[in-house]
Structure 1
């Protein structure tokens, strides 16, 4: 066995963990509304009180900012680089938490949440890109899925501290996370794809040597260089190439479907109102504890999904996840229908609402929570990846806003049963989409995935892998 086959992905894990601290902060930003809005709506205890509509606007304000951030990221990520762009997000994240802590008016709260959303747009454009470019194929699924794991961790953290601390103290504690992000990620290597794009071959070699922990990286370096040169030769890497090139159109269609149905299943919308939903459901369990259990289970199951995605594959987990989510959402909708529209006494089985939501988060976290984000870093070539992830994040923001407003309007005007039935129907449509259109990317290099999207013969099948091993040994 030659030195080309040796190495260790330890630094890839460390880079992913430190880089996704930006996504932990992002999850805390989005999860903030769950424990904080009830405090802000309590006229007896709050110093800055808001109404239902203002609360809804505060919840979705980061999604508005994310559109600006995504467009910004598409411009700067190929100029500043992946590493420096991720480091830059620490500043607006930190500033937004300080503003939340000391905001004297609802307007400043809006601005703080908008700034956080801008950082979110940058984060979800560049972090999946960075991880997809530094990770070996054997661990890329797990590391790519860590974006969802850390996002859910952020929701859990903010709900725990927000349930026991004041809004001001919660924000000050939360500001520590972006500070840690900056201090730790500062020492991580830059993406070798970016360095080769900028003609910095020596730095790219050093980056690969650090990431793979071996000296002989010539094969990887040449593979990446050839892929980038082929992409630049055929297309200059413009936004229109996402739609002009057939393989890119396929990737846009796949990601659009996955991210769209992910949000139309209600995951982010429900996250904004988890506390209030549990309060509405009944009093068998404290809403605070129910929310903590909800996010703890979601975190554990998303971690489990990330650990098996490189073995089980993307498609099987997505199909199981979407089918189970639809069932859980219909059960949840039926409970709230009986509660809101009939004279049936639901007090004896109000625990069904809690169990239904927990079942939803368990099955949703097996695939749909993490894999769409993982595939963001897999399906697009380097020359259009920045534009693709920008478009995906803008699209995510629009779909999440639509789903959140749908939940807010339907729960007030018609009842939560309408909200959950709508999410359930969308989950069934998502199941059909996954079955017919989403490809399997397990174990493939980024270059092999592009060949599959172009309709070329796959070169990374099991037989080819065995032949490659034999040749290396020889």
Structure 2
């Protein structure tokens, strides 16, 4: 359930500028004392992605050092704080600051949510859980637009604050990921968490897998991400998939929680999600200008062709993960 709340926050935040930018343009509804230019409004939308870029890398390191749960809590606190800043903004600098900070928060939430769900879910339901969260992300976006119809700038932003706050509170009661305990060699903790999650049959396999990570270090993990054939293949698939993210929706993100080996999962996820943020920034920043330069019809023909290429790419390169354990998926042997 917590993962679904996370996606509500992500969906709401990604759509926040939809109802908010018209309010910033309205002399009556805007909390600002000046009229914003088109460039400034565009930056309000796109600066979010700049803030999101370091999030996955911070979490990629911290999640292997302190655990998945503390990282999720930190991400929630950052997101909640960002919405507070946005709610009380009375100048453009505060809005930029809030958008940068919410980008950082969601950069952290995005990577940790998929990694965490991918690690705690059992094989038979993992794919379903990772896919259903896309519905909640869409629901979050719908909530943002619906709120914009009836609420003021502060009201809409307050909805985002309460979603982020609830996410943070729920995070306090999450169990730690068993994979973190595998990395730390804490067999007793692995057993306890898996038993609490109703996965006693996975205990032996997961404890056995720790042999791969006995000599693991951050430097070795980064090197392995790019030199190991399986990890490199996973990374390539996810980066290309994230370029097609506008066409494939949540699927590339869902795969993030399944594709990498345990010791490099957070780092590989960080690189993959970064590609999504970078592409999102480019699309958001350039969309308005491209419509003026080449016309909307050309731009949407481009998106149509991208969708067709995405279908071909998916059929040829993206592996079926249904019913497979994480170890089976990571080696592409079944």
C-alpha contact 1:66 1:397 (8 A) present in aligned 2: yes
C-alpha contact 1:228 1:382 (8 A) present in aligned 2: no
Q: Deviations over 1:251-285 (max 9, x none)?
A: 0111112111123x4xxxxxxxxxxxxxxxxxxxx
Q: Call closer, same or farther: CA 1:422–1:434 in 2, change over 3 Å.
A: same
Q: Deviations over 1:46-100 (max 9, x none)?
A: 3423221111111111111110111211121111211111111121111111111
- CA-CA distance at 1:228 after TM superposition: 2.8
1:129 aligns with 2:111: no
C-alpha contact 1:67 1:394 (8 A) present in aligned 2: yes
Equivalent position to 1:240, from 219, 223, 241: 223
| 2:211 equivalent in structure 1 | 229
| 2:202 equivalent in structure 1 | 220
C-alpha contact 2:31 2:89 (8 A) present in aligned 1: no
Residue ranges of structure 1 left out of the alignment (5+ in a row): 1-16, 266-367, 459-474
Shifted more, 38-47 versus 422-431: the winner is 38-47
| 2:234 equivalent in structure 1 | 251
Q: Max radius of gyration: which structure?
A: 1
| 2:154 equivalent in structure 1 | 168
Distance in structure 2 (CA, Å) of the matches to 1:423 and 1:116: 28
1:184 aligns with 2:170: yes
Equivalent position to 1:75, from 42, 61, 71: 61
| 2:100 equivalent in structure 1 | 114
C-alpha contact 1:92 1:116 (8 A) present in aligned 2: yes
Residue ranges of structure 2 left out of the alignment (5+ in a row): none
TM-score computed with the length of structure 1 as normaliser: 0.67
SS of the counterpart of 1:188?
A: coil
C-alpha contact 2:13 2:160 (8 A) present in aligned 1: no
Q: Deviations over 1:419-470 (max 9, x none)?
A: 2112112222222222221211111111111232xxx4x3xxxxxxxxxxxx
C-alpha contact 1:41 1:52 (8 A) present in aligned 2: no
- CA-CA distance at 1:142 after TM superposition: 1.1
| 2:274 equivalent in structure 1 | 394
SS of the counterpart of 2:175?
A: coil
| 1:39 equivalent in structure 2 | 23
1:444 aligns with 2:320: no
Aligned length: 331
C-alpha contact 1:64 1:114 (8 A) present in aligned 2: yes
1:23 aligns with 2:7: yes
TM-score computed with the length of structure 2 as normaliser: 0.93
Distance in structure 1 (CA, Å) of the matches to 2:171 and 2:297: 44
SS of the counterpart of 1:421?
A: helix
Please list, as runs of the form range in 1=range in 2, the aligned pairs for 1:183-332 lying within 5 A after superposition: 183-212=169-198, 217=200, 219-232=201-214, 237-263=220-246, 265=247
